[in-house]
């Protein structure tokens, strides 16, 4: 619906018998038909379904001067429509909200680290109580298939705090302080990296293209490193290469969101972009499995005959790519 995309969104007027309900979206008007909605929860669910199709979401919901979304849902969801005369909703695109939320997530990790280092028990308890809001926002805004690095770095932190009450969470942090701080630092770093990429995705793409060429040279040495007993260095090369591939996928997605280019319409060699990346990811999984099995022969074959040619095609594609 073009009117939604341009944010020329307006007033929703609902009639039910003698009920008159006004719903404002971004302070402007739009007609909306009431069907079987009886409570505020019903209205919100219907509007959210409609907005989701346009990559939009509700960020504030005010009745009078009260922002209902700042309260637990059970306090307002069963409100009868007869108790509401005007409801003012604010909406934002998911992509805008996604990247603006990164600063809040980063502030959360920074505050948590400071509280733990200073042994500020009260602040730690407050942050533990606020942790579910972080996980809820993360799950809502960042799809795991597009942002796997975020979830990989989030996993150690989540293991320690997921489904924990305040006192139990406090005890776990106290008993595992160094591990907890390390998990916080890892999560903080990836969030900061994604924030930088979101602000300048074209610059990030150029940098990642250079890193991809560098990592290609590094993984060509993996088989030799394994044969000479340098397993740790070999794995570091593979992880760096894998991280660059994941970062590239993330930046592709950002550029598509910002309308610079739709990579799904491009071809790499004789494959669609999606087919190419899926095949490369499959080969990377085989490579990691071969590494875990200490199968140096398979590692060498995969690198030389499967991954190296794909890497050359990807570098060539990125080198000649024109981004608006």
pLDDT of residue 20: 56
Do 239 and 309 belong to one domain?
yes
The verdict on residue 91 lying in a domain is: no
Q: Which pLDDT score is estimated for 17?
A: 43
Note the pLDDT tens digit of each residue in 275-307: 888 898 889 889 888 888 888 888 888 888 888
pLDDT at 28: 74
- Whether residues 126 and 213 share a domain: the answer is no
**71 belongs to a structural domain:** yes
Instruction: Report if residue 324 sits inside a domain.
Output: no
Q: Which long-range contacts (CB under 8 A, 24 or more apart) does 261-270 make?
A: 261/321, 261/323, 261/324, 266/317, 266/321, 268/313, 268/314, 268/317, 269/313
Q: Both 192 and 205 in a single domain?
A: no
Q: How much is the pLDDT for 312?
A: 87
Query: How confident is the model over 10-42, as pLDDT tens digits?
Result: 444 444 444 556 778 887 765 555 566 778 888
- Flag whether the pTM goes above 0.75: no
Could you give the C-alpha distances from 202 to 29, 129, 242, 258, 316, in angstroms and in order? 37, 38, 20, 10, 17
Domain end point (choices 168, 197, 226)? 197
CB 202 within 8 A of CB 255: yes
Read off the CATH number of the domain in which 268 is found.
Answer: 1.20.120
Is 135 found in the same domain as 43?
Answer: no
In the listed set 49, 84, 119, which residue is the last one of a domain according to the structure?
84
- 161, 203 in Cβ contact below 8 A? no
Do 121 and 171 share a structural domain?
yes
- Domain-located, residue 304: yes
Instruction: With beta carbons less than 8 A apart as the criterion, state whether 80 and 158 touch.
Output: no
**Distance (Å, rounded) from C-alpha 151 to C-alpha 142?**
9
169, 197, 225: which is the final residue of a domain?
Answer: 197
CA atoms within 13 A on the CB side of 259: 0
Q: 116 and 43, same structural domain?
A: no
Q: 32 and 123: one domain?
A: no
**CA gap 281, 295 in Å, rounded:** 19
Same domain as 168, residue 212 = no
The reported pLDDT for the residue numbered 9 is 41
Domain that residue 236 falls in: 201-319
User: Which token pair is 106?
Assistant: 């980063």
pLDDT at 187: 96
**Separation in Å, CA 10 to CA 3, 7, 46, 90:** 9, 9, 16, 11
192 and 209 assigned to the same domain:
no
Q: List the chain pLDDT tens, one digit each, 324 residues.
A: 333 333 334 444 444 444 556 778 887 765 555 566 778 888 888 888 888 777 788 888 888 888 888 887 888 888 877 777 788 888 888 778 888 889 999 999 999 999 999 999 999 999 999 998 899 889 888 888 888 889 999 999 999 998 778 999 999 999 999 999 999 999 999 999 999 998 888 899 999 999 988 888 888 888 788 888 888 888 888 888 888 888 888 888 888 877 667 777 788 888 888 888 889 888 988 988 888 888 888 888 888 888 888 888 888 888 877 766
Residue 306 located in a structural domain? yes
Total tally of structural domains belonging to the chain = 3
One domain for residues 243 and 301 = yes
Do 107 and 177 lie in one domain? The reply is yes
Q: Does 229 lie in the same domain as 142?
A: no
pLDDT at 16: 44
């Amino acid at each position: 619906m073009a009117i939604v995309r341009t944010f020329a969104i307006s007033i929703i007027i609902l009639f039910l018998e003698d009920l008159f309900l006004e719903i404002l979206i971004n302070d402007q008007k739009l007609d909306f038909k009431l069907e079987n909605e009886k409570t505020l929860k019903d209205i919100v669910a219907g509007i959210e379904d409609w907005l989701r199709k346009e990559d939009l979401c509700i960020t504030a919901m005010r009745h009078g001067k009260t922002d209902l979304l700042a309260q637990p849902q059970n306090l307002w969801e069963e409100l009868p429509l007869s108790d509401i005369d005007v409801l003012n909703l604010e909406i934002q695109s998911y992509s805008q909200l996604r990247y603006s939320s990164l600063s809040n997530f980063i502030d959360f990790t920074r505050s948590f680290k400071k509280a733990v280092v200073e042994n500020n028990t009260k602040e730690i308890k407050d942050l533990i109580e606020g942790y579910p809001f972080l996980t809820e926002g993360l799950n809502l805004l960042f799809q795991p298939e597009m942002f796997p690095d975020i979830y990989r770095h989030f996993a150690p932190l989540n293991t320690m705090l997921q489904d924990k009450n305040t006192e139990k969470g406090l005890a776990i942090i106290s008993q595992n302080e160094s591990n907890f701080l390390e998990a916080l630092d890892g999560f903080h770093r990836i969030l900061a990296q994604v924030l930088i990429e979101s602000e300048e995705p074209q610059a990030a793409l150029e940098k990642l293209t250079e890193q991809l060429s560098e990592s290609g040279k590094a993984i060509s040495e993996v088989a030799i490193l394994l044969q000479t007993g340098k397993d740790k260095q070999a794995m570091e090369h593979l992880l760096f290469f894998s991280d660059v591939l994941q970062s590239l996928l993330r930046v592709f997605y950002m550029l598509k969101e910002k309308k610079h280019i739709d990579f799904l319409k491009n071809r790499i060699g004789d494959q669609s972009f999606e087919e190419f990346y899926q095949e490369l990811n499959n080969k990377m999984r085989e490579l990691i499995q071969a590494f875990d099995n200490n199968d140096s022969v398979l590692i060498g074959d995969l690198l030389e005959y499967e991954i190296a040619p794909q890497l050359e095609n990807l570098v060539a594609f990125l080198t000649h790519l024109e981004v608006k």
